[in-house]
Amino acid sequence: MVTHEPFTIIDVRVFDGHRVLDADHLRVTDGRVDALGDVAIIRPGDALVDGRGGTLLPGLMDAHVHLLPGCTPLAATFGVTTVIDQFSKPEVIVPERDAVAASERWEGPVRADLRTSSIGATAPNGHPTMAYAPFPYVTGPADAAPFVEARLAEGATHLKVIYDDGSGAMLDIPSLDAETIRALVQAAHLHGLPVVAHVSTSAGAVAVARCGVDVLAHAPFDRMTDAELAEVARSGVALIATLSIIDGFPGSDGVMPLLAQPELAARLTPRWRRVLKAQSRRWMPPQAPDGAAARYNTVALMESGVRVLAGTDTPNPGLVFGASLHRELQHLVRAGLRPAEALTAATATTAEVFGLADRGRLVAGSRADLVLVDGDPTVDITATHSVRHTWVRGRRVAPEEYAGSETERHGIAWLRESNSKIMSAIRRTWPGLPVPEEVTRDDGEVLGRVVPTAGGWQAETTFGAPLGEVGTREEALETVHTRGLACLAEPWWVLPLDEAGWREARLLEVEPERIRLRWTDPLTTQPPSGQWFALTDIDLSLHRPDS
């Protein structure tokens, strides 16, 4: 729906952010909810949207993301209508915020709204320096007021502070001290900014609660004691659980959890499915976290009176904007929340904690941020996977506008560059970690490379296509030496990511970022010299895949 015409969603179950209402109709005009009730609220000229068999929810909110270019239209395709950024730099924030403003003027694709902390407060070389350096640090209490004022100038709607000395991951990294955090909290509160604190341990949660922060950015990864639970609950903080972090590790079948959810995987674009498949093959420690302590802490804190918010920490590995919020809801229910409580965590509670009085509830006058799903997620939380329609301020999302767009390509390229920067920093810090190795012939000609993965070593061509099965490093080296160049003359199977099927082709020229090929089907219309493809736009295989 791409007009300002009023519309009414009819014959639908309505969850208002806290409970299912008696109303089964909802009317929208001028981007706001006009009325809830029965058939009597329909007005002449209204467009009618059939809601039979579905549930209407407030637009979902992800309380913990880190921005990348184009993340807001991607989030909206999955029914997430507000994203709350917990540390990004202005060069990413400003263009995304400008695009959101244009969308609200009905220019360009529909996008989720966003709120941001801008740059978070951390000690010099503290977490997350690897991902974001260079950026301004906080060296002590005297820096608190000017740091907060600088974030306000960047448009921050809340303050993020990082209290993490690495002990939760058996590391030793610089961290803010309690006196500095108290000064930051005081400075932020003077300007009406809520303060979100990154912690990873139970001790850290207690320490920042004593400093007066408003929100914990993660459920601690170690099990909290009864005394710790009681003290944190008494402080009045809220909790963004981020249980989805464990989705960064593939299951026993080697498949990333998000790709194992059929409806969510089908809604992902081919390029994002490819990103997840690549992440499932990256090198990882042998023991993946199970998240049990974080789940326990989430429910124990909630039962102690702490408000729980749904947040994902996207775009960490395995996580995708919008899609992973549905996985977070599943994790919350698995932890022990009732489905309706999980939905409230992603709607009304997040709005309340971050002062967004115009959303998170379906009431007359609220923003028409809506998501219509099939089934009843108050009974089965996985019903949220089946998104029928989404509206942001009454404007309906068209998912097809994002898939294959330059916005999508730019976002994925930015993510790839960011991950490369992080991996380079990790390797400098821990030089013993396995790294990709270029393989050359005696005369110096590059044959390919071998890459550490979750299951061993993968042999690859010079342009990154896999050769053979994952095995030992020695086996991968042998494969590259024997097949690295010879395979270039063989037929290849190619799947352009904007097409449905694989096609056979011959490679005419290869470069690190692109290849030129010619389709072997003589009936295909193509230039005599073949066609160039960016490697980010195709999948390649030496053997015809089954599908």
Strands of 54-58's sheet in order across:
13-14, 54-58, 370-374, 387-392, 395-396
- Report how far residue 372's alpha carbon sits from residue 375's, in angstroms, rounded to the nearest whole number: 9
- Say how far apart CA 244 and CA 234 lie, in whole Å: 26
Question: pLDDT of 230-239, one tens digit each?
Answer: 999 999 999 9
The pLDDT value recorded for residue 79 is 98
Q: How many CB atoms lie within 10 A of CB 400?
A: 11
Q: 476, exposed or middle or buried, with CB in 10 Å at 0-12, 13-18, 19+?
A: buried
**What are the residue boundaries of the structural domains of the chain, listed by start?**
54-417, 432-541
CA atoms within 13 A on the CB side of 469: 2
Report d(CA 535, CA 512) in Å as an integer: 8
User: For position 434, what pLDDT does the model report?
Assistant: 87
Alpha-carbon distance of 547 to 541, in angstroms, equals 12
Residue 280 Cα distances to 29, 288, 453, 513, angstroms: 45, 12, 8, 22
How far from 17 is each of 80, 165, 263, 369, 425, CA to CA, in Å?
14, 37, 23, 12, 42
The pair of three-digit structure tokens given for residue 382, joined into one six-digit string: 């996985």
Q: What is the rounded distance in angstroms from the CA atom of residue 244 to the CA atom of residue 88?
A: 20
C-beta atoms surrounding 522 within 10 Å? 5
What are the tens digits of pLDDT across the range 117-146? 999 999 999 999 988 999 999 999 999 999
Q: Residues 56, 26: contact at Cβ < 8 Å?
A: yes
How far apart, in Å, are the Cα atoms of 136 and each of 121, 124, 158, 192, 348?
8, 8, 17, 22, 34
φ, ψ (nearest 5 deg) of residue 476: -65, -40
Q: Residue 75: what pLDDT?
A: 98
Structure tokens at 453: 């993965």
Exposure of 126 in the CB half-sphere (CA atoms within 13 A): 21
Q: By three-state DSSP, how is residue 147 classified?
A: helix
Q: What angle do CA 314, 173, 156 make, to 5 degrees?
A: 45
Q: What phi and psi values does residue 267 have, to the nearest 5 degrees?
A: -80, -20
CATH number for the segment(s) 54-417: 3.20.20.140
Q: Which DSSP string corresponds to 208-223?
A: HHHTT-SEESS--SSP
User: Which of 124, 453, 142 lies closest to 282, judged by CA?
Assistant: 453
Write down the pLDDT at residue 2.
41
Quote the CA–CA distance of 97 and 103 in Å, as a whole number.
10
d(CA 93, CA 157): 12
Alpha-carbon distance 172 to 168, whole Å? Answer: 10
Structure tokens at 111: 């996008």
Output the tens digit of pLDDT for each of the chain's 547 residues: 344 789 999 999 999 999 999 999 999 999 999 999 999 999 999 999 999 999 999 999 999 999 999 999 999 999 999 999 999 999 999 999 999 999 999 999 999 999 999 999 999 999 999 889 999 999 999 999 999 999 999 999 999 999 998 776 667 789 999 999 999 999 999 999 999 999 999 999 999 999 999 999 999 999 999 999 999 999 999 999 999 999 999 998 889 999 999 999 999 999 999 999 999 988 887 778 899 999 999 999 999 999 999 999 999 999 999 999 999 999 999 999 999 999 999 999 999 999 999 999 999 999 999 999 999 999 999 999 999 999 999 999 999 999 999 999 999 999 999 988 888 888 887 788 888 899 999 999 999 999 998 889 999 999 889 998 999 999 999 999 999 999 999 999 999 988 888 999 999 999 988 999 999 999 999 999 999 999 989 999 998 886 5
The CA distance from 439 to 116, in Å, is 44
Rounded Cα gap, residues 319 and 247, in angstroms: 7
Name residue 48's beta-bridge partners: 8
Beta strands across the sheet bearing 80-85: 60-65, 80-85, 113-116
